[in-house]
Amino acid sequence: MYDNLIPNLFKTEYSKIITVLCNYFSIRDIEIAEDIAAETFLLASETWGLKGIPPNPKAWLYTVAKNKTIDYIRKNNVYDKIISNKQSKSLDNYYEIEWSDEKIKDSQLKMIFILCNPINAIESQIILVLKILGGFGIEEIATTFLTTKENINKKIFRAKKRIKEAKIDLEHIDSKLITERLNSVLISIYLLFNEGYYSKTKDFEIQKSLCLEAMRLCILLIENKSTNEPETNALLSLMCFHSSRFEARQNELNEIILYENQNKNLWNKELIDKGNYYLIESAKGNQITKFHLEASIAYWHCTKLESSNKWENILTLYNKLLQIEYSPVAALNRTFALFKVKGAKEAIVEAEKLKLSDYLYFSLLGYLYSFDNKEKAIFNYKLALNIAKKENDRQVIKKYLTVLNSTKNEN
Amino acid sequence: MNEFMMLFRHTPNPDFKMSPEQMQENIKYWQDWIGSIAAQGKFVATNQLSFEGKTLKPNNIVTDGPYAEVKEIIGGYVICKAENLDEALKLAQGCPILNIGGHVEVRSFMKIN
């Protein structure tokens, strides 16, 4: 039990300590809060091993963090008085640092809005969220983005600098700022989820924890009245539906199993139910956002029965989604839905119009042609294989090519 | 890429009323056609016009309905992106207005500096 206690606590409590302390420090001093949190855990690992685990480890951490904060302010006061002749800060404030659930959630919510600041590129926003709110280590983040630890450290340094220069402290996060920035916060959470779900990394545990962190942040937004908007619910619904297939979409060898070939019994029913619940909650406004459409598409993907209107509905939803926001992936998925509704011939005509150039596009063309033009199917799959980089993707394409080559003469 | 407007014109037939199923089917045709343009990343905006409307003429003369004196009415528009008029015309192919005897007018926007 001791082995995992500190890492597990670190995962959740490290970020809580930083965010709560940031109520008492300006954002320019966020590193002091981080140092105090780190020192607190250092002391925990030193003393718990010797003296045993305290009866309430969380309360222990909070008390130590509070005392370290008071120590820091006291030392700083001495410094200010002697060296710079400044007024001392009263310690009263710091003796009353509050660790209630409510305070923690409120602080974390505000911290999301500080970190998801559009002055930073979206990738940097996500990296900061993972580091400060998710308690992710530099190594995990580097694995997520397939880059080096040095690179991530550099990005964190630059992104933090901008956040500090923006001078928006926790106390400045008011309802006006929340309304203005909610949409960009939701997009950051959505991309964080996608980073996990369509991961560059092969590390299954990291993929999962990225998705879980995105969902946790979204739940935080739903629990707060000012951010519990229909689109927030739509985003959570979408993430619930997607993650319901987590166990089904990967085999023991970490290979991706395509939707059509998944064992539907492995879909997580509890998450599908949650997805349905939040989808209904999301219908309360009169706005249809891209999250609503994507959640509805995900809803239909979670229905096991191949009812006649399933793919028609999916096609209609993609038609609408593309009108709100074009993306190559949505265009490809729309064409696949069109194939399900109208057959390969019509889908090929539409697919040829897309004129994309990635491996997914040529895979789709290969798939569509495989019904009555195996030569063209093979041609397109070979193009796809030439472009595909990830080993998982190449394996899938190779499997299709093998089948096509063995049945080529049956044409 | 330039923007073009497709205007859908047709002559309404007062004797012809669509059944709810036909209407549903019709909506699907339009959605699939617009979806096809959007899937190519060439969609900008669309609106369907309702039958309610009034026309204002000089001397503050107001007439009822957009179709009091014209046979043909505009049912809606799509703004799309295309390299040139020919490409925009290609996108107009398959427009469901053609199935009910109507036509699509494709127009470029005048550039005013």
Are the beta carbons of B41 and A353 separated by less than 8 Å?
Answer: no
| A317 has a chain B CB within 8 A of its CB | no
Residue A1 has pLDDT above 70, yes or no: no
Tokens 């038609």 found at = A319
pLDDT by residue (tens digit) across B53-95?
888 989 999 888 766 566 788 999 999 999 999 999 999 999 9
A73 in Cβ contact with A94 (< 8 Å):
yes
What pLDDT score was predicted for residue A397?
92
Chain A residue closest in CA terms to B91: A353
- Considering the domain architecture, whether residues A319 and A385 belong to the same structural domain is answered as no
* A336 shares a domain with A364: no
Cα separation, B49 vs A157, in Å, equals 53
Closest C-alpha among A79, A71, A46, A76 to residue A60:
A46
Q: In the predicted model, what is the mean pLDDT of residues A58-68?
A: 94
List chain A residues with CB under 8 Å of B38: 319, 322-323, 326, 331
Res A155: pLDDT: 96
Nearest CB among B28, B39, B46 relative to A354 is that of B39
A:B CB pairs within 8 Å: 45
Collapsing DSSP to helix, strand or coil, A318 comes out as helix
Angle at A400 between CA A398 and CA A401, to 5 degrees: 60
Residue A61 sits in which domain range? 1-99
Q: A350 contacts in B (CB within 8 Å)?
A: 36, 39
Q: Which of B28, B38, B46 sits opposite A326 (nearest CB)?
A: B38
The Cα of B78 is separated from the nearest Cα of chain A by a number of Å equal to 11
pLDDT in tens, A138-151: 998 998 888 899 99
DSSP letter at A133 equals I
Is the pLDDT reported for residue A251 higher than 90?
A: no
Cβ <8 Å between B38 and A312 = no
pTM: 0.86
Q: How many CB atoms lie within 10 A of CB B65?
A: 13
- Å between B50 CA and nearest CA of chain A: 20
Partner residue facing A319 (CB), from B31, B40, B41: B31
Two structure tokens written together for A200:
């560059």
Report CA Rg, chain A: 25
Distances in whole angstroms, Cα of residue B49 to Cα of each of A284, B52, B53, B66, B111 = 27, 8, 9, 10, 25
Retrieve residue A296's tokens: 């509805």
| One-letter amino acid of A293 | L
In A, minimum Cα distance to B46 occurs at A323
Residues A4, A94, single domain; the answer is yes
> Kindly report the CA angle at A223 between A219 and A228, in degrees rounded to 5?
90
pLDDT in tens, A75-119: 888 877 777 777 777 777 787 888 999 999 999 999 999 999 999
Scanning every residue of chain B, which has its alpha carbon at the shortest distance from the alpha carbon of A337? B32
The backbone region for A390, taken as left when phi is positive above 0, alpha when psi lies in -120 to 50, beta otherwise, is: beta
The count of structural domains within chain A is: 3
Whether A335 and chain B come into contact, CB under 8 Å, resolves to yes
Question: pLDDT tens digits, residue range A145-177?
Answer: 888 999 999 999 999 999 999 988 988 899 999
Tell me which chain A residues have a C-beta less than 8 angstroms from the C-beta of B32: 315, 319, 338
Query: Which run of H or of E encompasses B47?
Result: strand B43-48
- A110 near A18, Cβ under 8 Å? no
Q: How many Cβ atoms are within 10 Å of A325's Cβ, its own excluded?
A: 12
Same domain, A2 and A95: yes
Q: Do B38 and A355 touch (CB under 8 A)?
A: no
Which residue from B minimizes the CA distance to A329?
A: B39
Instruction: Report the interhelical angle of A2-21 vs A30-51 (nearest 10°).
Output: 150
Q: A315 and B41: CB-CB below 8 Å?
A: no
What pLDDT does A410 receive? 61
Rounded to whole angstroms, how far apart are CA atoms A59 and A161?
32
| Residues A364, A317 share a domain | no
* A260 belongs to a structural domain: no
- The answer to whether the Cβ–Cβ distance between A322 and B31 falls below 8 Å is no
Which residues from chain B sit within 8 angstroms of residue A322, using beta carbons? 35, 38-39, 43
A66 and A26 in a single domain? The answer is yes
Same domain, A345 and A402: no
Q: Residue A315 and residue B35: Cβ atoms within 8 Å?
A: yes
Min Cα separation A331/chain B (Å)? 5
Last residue within a domain, chosen from A43, A75, A99: A99
- According to DSSP, the residues that pair with B73 across neighbouring strands are B10
CB contact under 8 A, A331 and B31: no
For chain B, the structural domain boundaries read 2-13+20-108
Q: Are residues A322 and A367 in the same domain?
A: no
pLDDT tens track for A325-347: 999 999 999 999 999 999 999 99
Residues across chain A:
411
The nearest alpha carbon in chain A to B87 belongs to: A353
Contacts of A137 by beta carbon, 8 Å cutoff, 6+ apart: none
Nearest to A380 by CA among A396, A363, A393: A363
Chain A residues in contact with B46 by the CB 8 A cut-off are 323
A362, A328: one domain:
no
- In terms of CA atoms, which chain B residue is nearest residue A328? B39
Considering chain A, what is the average pLDDT of its residues? 90
CB contact under 8 A, A316 and B40: no
Alpha carbons A381 and A328: distance in angstroms, whole number: 18
Instruction: Say yes or no: A336 contacts chain B, CB-CB below 8 A.
Output: no
The answer to whether the Cα torsion of A367, A368, A373, A378 is positive or negative is negative
Q: What is the ipTM of this complex?
A: 0.87
Amino acid sitting at position B53: G
Residues of B contacting chain A (CB within 8 angstroms): 28, 31-32, 34-36, 38-41, 43, 46
Percent of chain B as helix, strand, coil, to the nearest 5: 30, 35, 35
In chain B, the N- to C-terminal Cα span, in Å, equals 18
Cα angle B29, B25, A311 (rounded to 5 degrees) comes to 75
First to last CA, chain A: 62
CATH dotted code for B2-13+20-108: 3.30.70.1060
